[in-house]
Amino acid sequence: MTLWYDVARVAIAVNLLLLLGLGYVWAGNYRRFRSKHALGLLLFAVMLFLENAVALYLYMLDPVMSAWMADVPVAPQRLLTLLRVFEAVALAFIAWVTWD
């Protein structure tokens, strides 16, 4: 069953794109405001970006580990995917609010 594995990979890509957009806005705001609040948001985006970059490596870039990930049984695979999907929903919402 590779559907969950595919959904996870799509969600990782979506997360990375959303975080690039958020990082762009928050980095610009940090340059203008120079406040700890703007810096906090920027660091938040950077850390979540790194988290998803690691996931990208695990799921897609490393040939050995990505094969393991594709072979994870469906029950844990589904939960692993849900972690990615919940994060994507959260980031999509914050991106919508932030783009305002």
Partner 1 sequence: MEAVLWYVFTGTRGGENRARILRALDERPRNANQLADDLDLDYKTVRHHLEVLGDNGIVENSGDDYGAVYFPTDRVRDHWDAVEEIVEHVE
> Interface with partner 1 by CB under 8 A: which residues?
25-26, 28-30, 32-35, 37-38, 41, 97-100
> For residues 37 and 83, which CB has a smaller minimum distance to partner 1 in the complex?
37
Nearest approach, Cβ of 39 to partner 1 (angstroms)? 9
Distance CA 81, CA 97 (A): 25
**Residue in the structure block whose two tokens are 């990782």:** 12
Distance CA 100, CA 87 (A): 20
Distance CA 98, CA 92 (A): 10
> For residues 25 and 85, which CB has a smaller minimum distance to partner 1 in the complex?
25
Nearest approach, Cβ of 93 to partner 1 (angstroms)? 13
> For residues 5 and 30, which CB has a smaller minimum distance to partner 1 in the complex?
30
Distance CA 33, CA 46 (A): 18
Nearest approach, Cβ of 6 to partner 1 (angstroms)? 32
